[in-house]
Amino acid sequence: MDFNDTPEEAEFRAEARAFLEQHLEPKNASAIRGREARKQTLEKAKKWQKVKAENRFAQITWPREMGGRGGTPMQQVIWNQEETKFDAPIGPFAIGLGMCVPTVIAFGSDAHKERYVQKALHGEEIWCQLFSEPSAGSDVAGLKTKAVKDGDDWVINGQKVWTTGAQFSDFGIVLTRTDPNVPKHKGLTMFIVDMKAPGVEVRPIHQASGGREFNEVYFTDVRIPDSDRLGEPGMGWKVALVTLMNERLAVGGSPGPDWQEIMDYARDAGTLSNSAFREKLADWYVAAQGYKLTKFRTQTALSRGETPGPENSIGKIITANHLQDICNSAVEMQDHYGLIVDKDKAPADAIFQESLMWAPGLRIAGGTDEILKNIIAERVLGLPQDVRVDKDKAFSEL
């Protein structure tokens, strides 16, 4: 493992930092990353996305003909590291450019790429991912939203839930069931859907944290032309795996208070000398350093041109639980003041309260703890797979 940039990487880091310093203000060191990102306006985010795209910093690993830089995965990592140090409004485009549009590039036609890629890259259109359903839970392949062929169109009926950013998205990728008479993984098909099409209804979900990032989406006789299908009919699981791999990389980190923030708060509150708290702080510090070194291992693989494996699932399990534990401890430390969620009145601007209320969602998004533990057990440790009684049964028989 090499912790240092190569000369080429150091040169790119300096270029990226100079560009960011020219266009953005440095982030307040005491601010919480996730909260700041959520409060950026859509207009500001679109302007920043356009500036990045025009200077080929938007998607560094994409080929130049797609509007990227034709750079290396390690250069993308470096850019992400540097961008997080600045007040960069990136939230609205993370899902579209990180998960949806790469799926369109991999499985879409030339006409799809020409129509959608540049507009998304330059911030003109926003995308969402429509996978989760109320009855499927973590079992994406157990979805019930159906698509029925009708001439040159497909007619879609069903419901999706927990769709991030659907209320301001222009397009989405939607996974549907097109054949219920085969095992569940074999009867799925993916489509591009116009989120403004007749029959598409978006209902924002009012979260405990006060935000409305997630949505329910209802499809009632929504017609999608067959030309907007991604992949062959029945091959949707193969297409979805590409999206899911990108999703788990995208949500692997945890934007929120870490050991440093709670240590600073404890020092100000006069509780840093508490021995029980200091033991917890030591545990959080060790976990954070372990995750940091694991990320260095991944970055070293990228720097060498290698492809990181399923061990990346470790990061999300650690950081999501880490965040929840830290915020819970901070709120308890505030005693009865921990009940206050108004950022203008609560201690530390309510950063711990806000993060505590959305931290459980982080343990679900991009794969639940249980799903990721299975991936680590089976694909990293080589343990036997879980017993699946539904493996060879048609979905209609389940």
Tell me what the mean pLDDT of segment 26-46 comes to: 61
Residue 251 in this model has a pLDDT that exceeds 70: no
The whole-number pLDDT of residue 91 equals 78
Question: Tokens 């806000």 label which residue?
Answer: 354
Q: Which two tokens stand for residue 147?
A: 């698509």
CATH of domain 127-246: 2.40.110.10
Banded pLDDT at 186 (limits 50, 70, 90):
very high
Per-residue pLDDT, 365: 76
Q: How far apart are CA 314 and CA 240, in angstroms?
A: 21
Beta-carbon count within 10 A of 95 CB: 26
Query: Got the DSSP string for 189-241?
Result: EEEEEETTSTTEEEEE---TTS----EEEEEEEEEEEGGGEESSTTBHHHHHH
Average pLDDT over residues 349-370: 83
Percent share of the chain, pLDDT over 70:
90
pLDDT of 39 over the 70 cut: no
CATH topology of domain 251-380: Butyryl-CoA Dehydrogenase, subunit A; domain 3 (1.20.140)
Q: Which pLDDT band, with edges at 50, 70 and 90, does 223 fall under?
A: very high
Structure confidence by residue, pLDDT tens digits, 65-112: 999 999 988 898 899 889 988 888 877 898 999 899 999 999 999 999
For residue 36, the model assigns a pLDDT of: 44
Cβ atoms 36, 343 nearer than 8 A: no
Residue 249 has pLDDT above 70, yes or no: no
Give residue 229's pLDDT: 98
Domain spans of the chain, in order of start: 7-89, 127-246, 251-380
- Is pLDDT larger for residue 248 or for residue 211? 211
Sequence letter at residue 180: P
CB 161 within 8 A of CB 131: no
Local structure of 371: helix, strand or coil:
helix
Q: Which residues contact 354 (CB under 8 A, 6 or more apart)?
A: 32, 35, 209, 210, 341, 343
Measured N-to-C along each axis, helices 73-83 and 7-23 cross at an angle, to the nearest 10 degrees, of 40
List of residues 6+ apart from 292 with CB closer than 8 A: none
Average pLDDT of the chain is 87
Q: Is 118 helix (H, G, I), strand (E, B) or coil?
A: helix
Q: For residue range 161-179, list pLDDT tens digits in order.
A: 999 999 999 999 999 999 9
Is pTM beyond 0.95 here? Answer: no
| C-alpha pair distances (Å), 66 with each of 50, 70, 95, 104, 231 | 14, 9, 18, 12, 20
**Going by C-beta distance under 8 Å and a sequence separation of 6 or more, which residues neighbour residue 21?**
86
**Reported confidence tier of residue 308, pLDDT bands at 50, 70, 90:** low
3-state secondary structure (DSSP) of residue 304: coil
Which is higher by pLDDT, 252 or 131?
131
